[in-house]
Structure 1
Amino acid sequence: MRAKIIAISLFFTLLSPANAQQIVRVGGYDFPPFVDKRTGSTSLTFDLIAALNAFQKKYHFEFVDTSSKRRFINFDERRYDLIFFEAIDWGWQGRAVEASDVIMHGGTVYVTRADKHKDQRYFDDLKGKTIWGILGYHYGFANFNSDYEYLKKTFNAHMTTSQDGLIEAAVSGRADISVVVREYLQIYLIKHPEVQNKILVSKKFDAVNQYTILVRKGVSPDVAELNRILMEMENAGILKKLWGKYNLK
C-alpha cells in the first residue's frame, strides 16, 4: 500500500508545473523566407522553432502570429517574448529587449526591370523614381522610418504586402525600383529562373541586416542562455543544415 502511495505521489510530482516544460512564445510576421504565410510554403522561423524543441527539453517554443505593423503592439501586450530574425534598429529602441548574437547576415537590395540603357548607376539616385516596398518594413533609403505617409510623401513610395508582388512590379515596370529582401530573392530566382534576365539587381545593399533574436528583458531563456543553446546547435551542425535548406549562409 505504501509503495502504491509513493508511486501515485511520484506520478503527480512529474506532472507538476515545476517539471513541465516552460512555454516560450515567439512572435513572427510575414517576412519570407523567415515567415512565409502562403499555403504550402516553408518558413525558417518554424523550422528553427522545431529544431530548438528537438534539441533541448527545458523550454517549448511556440509561434505567435502578428504583423509587421502590429508586432510592437502585440509585444507590449505581452502576447510573445521573443522574435526571430529581427534587429533592434527596426523600431525597437526604447523597449525592454535585448539582442542575441547575430545568427545570420543579409539585407535588402534594389530590383528594377532590365533595360539596355540601365546599369548599376541607375540605383545611385532614387529621386523621381517610384519605389515599392512592404508595409511596416524598415528600409535604409528612408533611414529606417517605416511611417507610410512619410514614405509616400518623401520618396513616392508604394507599399504592398508581399515580396512576390515587389518582384512582379519590378518585372512589369509598375515599380521603377522594388526593395526586396535578398535572402528571399535568391530563393525566388531558383524557383523562377526565367525572371533572372528580366531584372537588374543592385550590387549595393539598401541596408545590411544583421539578424538576431530579440528577447524581452527579465524572461527565460535570457539572451545569455539563448546564445549558449544556439552555439551548441551551431557546433552540432544543426543551424548550418537549417540555413542550407533555404540556400542561405
Structure 2
Amino acid sequence: MSSPIRTASRLLLAALAALWVLPSPAAQLVRVGAAHFPPYTVRPESGADTGLLPQLVEALNALQSDYKFELVPTSIPRRFGDFKQGRVDMAIFENPGWGWKEIPHTSVDMGLEDAEIFVAQRIPNRQQNYFSDLAGKRLALFSGYHYEFANFNADPKVLAQNYNATLTYSHDSNLLMVLRGRADIALVTRSYLSDYLLRNEKVADQLLVSQRIDQVYHHYAILRPEAPITGEAFGKLLQGLRDNGQMLKIFDPYKIAIVPVSHAENAPQVAN
C-alpha cells in the first residue's frame, strides 16, 4: 500500500510532467508597416531585410517572447489606409503631425532624432547663404515626404508648381541630379547623407551641406487603438533596448541621436 507521501510525490511528478509538455502561450503578433524610407526601411516589397527598421524589429523580438513583431510592406502614401483598415498595427519612425491627426491612434515617443538638410553642388564662392532663400532654385525632393519649408504639404502638384520641385523615390537619384547640375538643391535626411557619403567617398568634396535644417525628425511609433500591444508596453520595450545598448548600436552609426523620452504622448489621440 502506498504511503500518502509517496502518492503525493507521484501526483507532483505527474503535474510537473504535464506542465513540461504543455506549449507556452503563443506570442501576440504585432504587424509593423514597412514603407520605403531609407535608411530606415529600404524597399521592403522586395523582401530584403535591409535598413534600420528590420534591425529594430529583430532586437525587439530578441528582447522578449510576449510579442512577435513582423514587417508588413506598405508605401508612404498607402500607409494611412493600411493603418485604418487594420492591415498593420503600428507605424514606426513617424510623427503625429504627418497626416495622422484625424486617425485614432496612440503615439509613443521613441527618443530618436534625425534631421532634414539641404545639399547643393560645391562650386567656387558658394557659401551657406545659398540655402537661405529657395526662391528660383530647382529642388529635388522625395515623393510623399512632408517638408517644413512647404508647410508639410506633400501634394506633388503643389510642390512642383510652388517650389519648382522634381519628386523621385530615391535620395541617390536626387543627389545625382545635384551633382550633374539638373537640380540646385536636394533635401535628404542627415542619416541618409551619412550613409551615402560612406558609400560614395569620392563625391564628398563635391557637395555643400547646409547648416540650415528644414526640420528635425523626432520619431514616434503610431499604434492602432486595437493593436495587440499598448503604447505603455511598447515604450517599456524601447526602454529595454536603451538599457541593453541595442538602440545605440543600431542608430548611432547613422548619426541618429538618442534623446530623452517624453512620456506625455503615450495616450490615445482620437479624431475629431
Taking structure 2 as the reference length, the TM-score comes to: 0.83
Counterpart for residue 14 of structure 1: 23
8 A Cα contact 1:133 1:159, kept in partner: yes
After superposition, residues 167-186 of structure 1 pair within 5 angstroms as 167-186=175-194
How far off its partner does 1:92 sit? Answer: 1.1
Runs of 4+ in 1 over 4 A off after TM superposition: 5-13, 38-41
1:69–1:135 Cα contact (<8 Å) kept = no
Shift of 1:11: 8.2
Tell which structure's C-alpha radius of gyration is larger.
2
Q: For the Cα contact (< 8 Å) 1:108–1:179, is it kept in 2?
A: yes
- Per the alignment, residue 262 of structure 2 pairs with none
Distance, in Å, in 2 between the alignment partners of 1:41 and 1:176 is 33
Range 51-60 or range 81-90, more displaced? 81-90
Which has the larger displacement, 215-224 or 54-63?
215-224
Partner of 1:75: 83
Instruction: Please give the per-residue CA displacement for 1:13-46, whole angstroms capped at 9, x wherever unaligned.
Output: 527xxx1110000002111110012877831000
Matched, 1:122 2:122: no
Q: Post-superposition shift, 1:217?
A: 2.0
Instruction: Note if 1:25 corresponds to 2:31.
Output: yes
Structure 2 partner of 1:207: 215
User: Displacement of 1:65 after TM fit?
Assistant: 0.5
The equivalent residue for 1:139 is: 147
Q: Distance in 1 between the 2:231 and 2:15 partners?
A: 39
Q: Percent identity?
A: 34
Q: In 1, distance between residues paired with 2:211 and 2:254?
A: 21
Shift of residue 117, structure 1, vs aligned partner: 2.9
Partner of 1:35: 41
Aligned partner letter, 1:176? D
Report 1 or 2 for greater relative contact order, CA contacts < 8 Å, sequence distance ≥ 6: 2
| Alpha-carbon separation, structure 2, partners of 1:31 and 1:157 | 19
How far residue 135 of structure 1 moved from its aligned partner, in angstroms, is: 0.9
Aligned to 2:224, which of 187, 211, 216? 216
| Whole-Å separation in 1 of the counterparts to 2:26 and 2:238 | 22
Quickly say closer, same or farther: Cα 1:86–1:44, change in 2 above 3 A.
Answer: same
Please provide the CA RMSD for this pair: 2.3
Task: Confirm or deny that 1:106 pairs with 2:114.
Answer: yes
Partner residue in 2 for 1:45: 53
Out of 100-109 and 176-185, give the one that drifted further. 100-109
**Which of 233, 236, 243 is matched with 1:235 structurally?**
243
- Decide whether aligned partners of structure 1 residues 227 and 26 sit closer, same or farther in structure 2, where only a CA change above 3 A counts: same
Unaligned runs of 5+ in 2: 1-10, 258-272
* Structure 2 residue identity aligned to 1:47: Q
Q: Confirm or deny: 8 A CA contact 2:90 2:222 kept in the other structure.
A: yes
Supply the distance in 1 between the matched residues of 2:114 and 2:63 (Cα, whole angstroms).
26
**TM-score normalised over the length of structure 1:** 0.90
Would the aligned equivalents of 1:112 and 1:173 in 2 still touch at CA under 8 Å? no
- 3-state DSSP of counterpart to 1:102: strand
Is the Cα contact below 8 Å between 2:90 and 2:227 reproduced in 1? no
In structure 2, the residue corresponding to 1:42 is in which secondary structure?
coil
What does the per-residue CA deviation read over 1:36-80, in whole Å, with 9 as the maximum and x for residues that have no partner?
Answer: 128778310000000100100000000010111111111122110
